[in-house]
A and B are shown apart, each in its own frame.
Chain A
Amino acid sequence: MGDSSTKKSMLSRLVPLLTSLARRGLAGWFIAIGLIMVIAIVAMTLLAPWLSPHNPSAIETGPPLSPPSSQFPLGTNKMGQDMLSRVISGGGIMIQVALLSVVICMAGGVPIGLLSSYSGGTLDRILCLIMDSIYAFPGLVLAIAIALMLGRGVVNMALSIAVVYVPSYFRVIRSQVLSIKEMAYVEAATATGAKGHTILSRYILPNVIPSIVVVATVNFADAILTAAGLTFIGLGVSVDIPDWGYDLTVGRGLLTTGVWWVIAFPGIMVVLLALGFTLMGEGLSELWNPRLEQ
């Protein structure tokens, strides 16, 4: 099958990468474990149709609200749907939303950041002010407001989260560009007549990329958590497809009746996914900006 053979070739490239990471101390472990978690979850979601024992959306697959058993290892929910299948298939929406929001965010934040810091002057000042205002704002609240007004849907949710995180990229890029701009080799290049965009692409961009990657991993983690939060409040995406966020909301109501399995397992998955990205971000940042060198 196409998917499993691609998986095998990816694995063979992955193992040497992981072993070299593990040698780099705790930070390396963080990255390695985080990477494994993320890849595993994404793979599980992609392969869901083949992995899930039952149809996650089929109602009355089993008796409703039955606790975890050998037949249904993760129990069933109110509509009798198998929780194991729902957990395996439920990551799709969250991953899509997170991915989309990170892409939008980068596509917006990076160019604006580059432009603003490189040109400087009034444009920079105004953009800084706007970005600071957005950044200062409680993220979830702003996302709520935007999501509320845009309506439900994967794209809308992604957009609302993206807007909130644009300032993060902006700031990081700006501080990097400003410090690189000062460096002698950039001044030398300008003195020899290099054009603006050459300087940007040849000198500044390569140095800025590590920071962007670190911010992106944290961005992913935050996006997942914010998406979960928005869904929890009731601004989630439509309910037809199995979705961890939806199960979280439904499960919450059931908790008081002692039904813990509907919320617990999707919850764990959300944590694991966010944790995977966070670990990567933490490890990468330690590796690339070692603050605690002896």
Chain B
Amino acid sequence: MIQKPQHLLTVEGLTAEYCAQRGRIIAVEDVSFSLDKGETLGVVGESGSGKSTLGLSLIHLVPYPGRIVKGTILLEGQNVLKLGKEKTRDLRGRRISYVFQDPMTSLNPVERIKDHFVELIRTHEPKVTKADAITRARKLFKDVGIQPERIDDYPHQLSGGMRQRVMIALALALDPSIVIADEPTTALDVIVQAKILDLLKSLQNRYGMALMLITHDLSIVLERSDKIIVMYAGRIVEQAPSSTLYTHTQHPYSQGLLKSIPNIELEEQKLTAIGGSPPDLLHPPIGCQFWPRCQYIMEICKIKEPPLFKTGIDHLVRCHLYAGETSG
């Protein structure tokens, strides 16, 4: 197997926090992973797990009062966090695109759809004329499955699903290497959800970009991603190729997530939820962040936070249960 000399994206030790009047919240703690060209990475976690902050960090857009404390984000060898303002601005939308969660609120209400495209294309490629930009936009519309006439509409005239397609089209307009989709279907109804996810997959096949799917719904990423990161309280608690995660789920939290996915093929199924409530990020527990909700707690869990243990090829778990393995 030919090993790539460097990954498309390498994240190392990323830590980000929010400092508000009430206190300090560590949203992302020591996260490291890599992403290769054409690969799909699923990032799963409940709200507050830090997954959105992680996504925004990759384009260095963590909103005030948040900030990235340490870590490196290497995009094709360059550290995104060390780029100047102009270079960072240039990178956004062109090399890494971000598709936001709520299409209702992500488009400028007082601008027509076509203007969104013209703006985007001409900001990054000033030599393109307005007419050319619109032509490219129409082509993109075809790719994402919207009728080209809708390009003259205002955002509020489109349905939720259509707006999300517009967002995806905008994300692809400049042929980025990575597309980050943050909960791309949460704000949509179930039927549209599947369509959008399939669309993303087929576009990925066509355009060859790497895709990062951020979601709280494990079922979405199990089938559609190559590897999965499970996040809890800002930390990676498990990381594995998706098939391995499905068959050899190791972290108690991931097991809980898996168990709570309804399976229509079973005749009788008891749905189990993960007991307890999400962590209070202002006053985090000592030791493993998950211990208050864990079935398998040992004494050590309450004292020392487990490091990531390597339990297989590309399989990392942050849990004392696997302490026998080598530390990853």
Contacts and interface: CB of A to CB of B under 8 A. Distances in A.
**A/B touching: CB–CB < 8 A:** yes
Interface of A: 294
B41 to A, nearest CB: 30
Contacts of B65: 294
A294 B64 CA distance: 9
Nearest to B19: A294
A24 to B, nearest CB: 10
For chain B, the bracket of interface size reads: under 10
**4 A-B pairs with least C-beta separation:** A294-B20, A294-B65, A294-B21, A294-B64
Contacts of A294: 20-21, 64-65
Contacts, number: 4
A294 B20 CA distance: 7
What's the dominant secondary structure at chain A's contact region?
loop
A294 B21 CA distance: 8
A294 B25 CA distance: 13
Contacts of B20: 294
Nearest to B21: A294
A151 to B, nearest CB: 53
Interface string B12-49: 00000000110000000000000000000000000000
A240 to B, nearest CB: 54
A278 B132 CA distance: 55
4 contacts: A294-B20, A294-B21, A294-B64, A294-B65
Nearest to B63: A294
Nearest to B20: A294
A2 B278 CA distance: 61
Nearest to A294: B20
A294 B63 CA distance: 11
B281 to A, nearest CB: 15
B6 to A, nearest CB: 38
B304 to A, nearest CB: 33
Nearest to B64: A294
A4 B205 CA distance: 85
A108 B21 CA distance: 41
A22 to B, nearest CB: 15
A238 B64 CA distance: 57
A29 B43 CA distance: 45
Interface string B49-76: 0000000000000001100000000000
A26 to B, nearest CB: 12
A32 to B, nearest CB: 19
Contacts of B64: 294
A113 B21 CA distance: 37
A100 B144 CA distance: 68
A174 to B, nearest CB: 29
B169 to A, nearest CB: 33
Nearest to B22: A294
